Structure 1
Amino acid sequence: MAKKRPSQSRGKKKPGTPSSSSVSLAQLAGGKGWALKHPRCARDRAEDIDEVRFMLEQGEWEVAQDELRWLLSGCSDCLDAHLLLGEMAVEYQNDVPLARGHFGYAYQLGYKAWRRAGEPVPVPASQLANQGFFAAGRGAAWCLEKLGKGVMADEIVSTLLKMDPTDPLECRKMLDDMRGSDMLPML
């Protein structure tokens, strides 16, 4: 196996420039919006994420949880792994603070990529590459509201609406419903 030559630009990366191991943003073909570009390590784990979803369908949530943690040990910016761990924290453990951490981390990955790109719009939630980010943002807002941090929940929803004003996940309605009744809706 041939050794890779060291990069000539090692250590000379411009501030704010994403590395190949972080989430970034790319313009869609035709210039009609933007989509997240997941790091290679996350793309390489797509089949593993599908296997985890299958495990969850089979009710093997503890094995799925271990698999997701293992996947994150090799790729901490795997947005879908954090999203699934957040969902599992709510559904199987009723651990809202843990869910908030995973949803929030996944949301921050996409949010920081969007900020680095200059906050371009739209970033359609309907794009496959953006779906996990929007679901994580919705989950983070839900957790924050449940934890009594409504201002932070509003900030996330406001950002999601700026990115995709169509609000296909009905994030605004979710918060309104949570604030208008004693019974909190599930994710």
Structure 2
Amino acid sequence: MAKRRRSSRSGNSRRTTVRRDASGHGWILVPPKSVRERSEDLDEVRTMIEEGEPDIAIDELRWLLEGSSEMIEAHFLLGKLAVEVDNDLPLARGHFGFGYQIGMKALRAEKSPQPVPALHPANRTFFDAGRGLAWTLDALGKKEMALEVVEHLLYCDPNDPLNLGTWIDEIKTAGQQIVDVGSLFGPTS
């Protein structure tokens, strides 16, 4: 008799998965057990950051990722620290991108369900990593890639509680004036 594959929805997977939220109206990302077991360590890292110890926090985050590379929040925090401490946009892009991709893989495995509420605590770091990725891509001159990330986040949560829709025009125009009001009325005589 053939062995039956264990469902990825069991919560024992080594990868991030997706399941319906308790209300049944949305979808949430479910980290693997290895990530859930390290939640207290992440609390300690946040305290280190708040107390102005970014170097120690960075070391701790790297150590945490050695034990579980699926830790979206660790990648988000490393990306954030890369920008804030060293202004290292390529490194920040890498960490934000890795965190974003963890969520994307889980969502693709379930055929991209929606909505994935951005404000749900289980989904928030995925959205934060995506926002960080879009921001760094834009800052690095990769506007099309930045737009793709923003548009996918908007697909995940069409209600747009994080106001990501405003980023689309900002990225496309790069802060340039969209309409010259004077030209609307023609020359004055």
The TM tier, using the shorter chain, reads 0.7 to 0.9
Q: Which residue of 1 aligns with 2:119?
A: 126
Q: Give, in angstroms, the shift of residue 151 of structure 1.
A: 0.8
Partner of residue 163 from structure 2, selected from 159, 162, 170: 170
Q: Which residues of structure 2 form unaligned runs of 5+?
A: 177-189
Q: Report whether the alignment pairs 1:181 with 2:175.
A: yes
Matches within 5 A, 1:137-176: 137-176=130-169
Equivalent residue letter for 1:109: I
Q: Which residue of 1 aligns with 2:186?
A: none
Q: Distance in 2 between matches of 1:169 and 1:138?
A: 9
Q: Report whether the alignment pairs 1:64 with 2:48.
A: no
CA deviations over 1:32-80 (Å, ceiling 9, x no partner): 0100001111111111111101100110000000000000011011111
Matches within 5 A, 1:76-155: 76-155=69-148
Q: Which residues of structure 1 form unaligned runs of 5+?
A: 1-7, 183-187
Tell me the C-alpha RMSD between the 2 structures. 2.1
- The total of aligned residue pairs comes to 172
Q: Distance in 2 between matches of 1:136 and 1:111?
A: 11
SS at match of 1:76: coil
Q: Given that residues 138 and 169 in structure 1 are in contact (C-alpha distance below 8 angstroms), is that contact kept between their aligned partners in structure 2?
A: no
SS at match of 2:87: coil
Q: Give, in angstroms, the shift of residue 175 of structure 1.
A: 4.7
Q: Given that residues 25 and 36 in structure 1 are in contact (C-alpha distance below 8 angstroms), is that contact kept between their aligned partners in structure 2?
A: yes
Equivalent residue letter for 1:136: A
Q: Distance in 2 between matches of 1:53 and 1:29?
A: 28
TM-score computed with the length of structure 1 as normaliser: 0.85
Equivalent residue letter for 1:107: Y
Q: Which residue of 2 aligns with 1:21?
A: 14
Q: Distance in 2 between matches of 1:155 and 1:165?
A: 15
Q: Distance in 2 between matches of 1:117 and 1:142?
A: 27
Q: Given that residues 89 and 99 in structure 1 are in contact (C-alpha distance below 8 angstroms), is that contact kept between their aligned partners in structure 2?
A: yes
Q: Given that residues 15 and 31 in structure 2 are in contact (C-alpha distance below 8 angstroms), is that contact kept between their aligned partners in structure 1?
A: yes
Equivalent residue letter for 1:21: R
Q: Given that residues 14 and 34 in structure 2 are in contact (C-alpha distance below 8 angstroms), is that contact kept between their aligned partners in structure 1?
A: yes
Equivalent residue letter for 1:105: F
Q: Give, in angstroms, the shift of residue 17 of structure 1.
A: 5.5
Equivalent residue letter for 1:31: G
Q: Give, in angstroms, the shift of residue 171 of structure 1.
A: 2.3
Equivalent residue letter for 1:64: A
Equivalent residue letter for 2:13: S
TM-score computed with the length of structure 2 as normaliser: 0.84
List structure 1 segments (4+ residues) > 6 angstroms apart after TM superposition. Answer: none
Q: Distance in 2 between matches of 1:126 and 1:57?
A: 22
CA gap of 1:167–1:101, structure 2 versus 1, over 3 A, is same
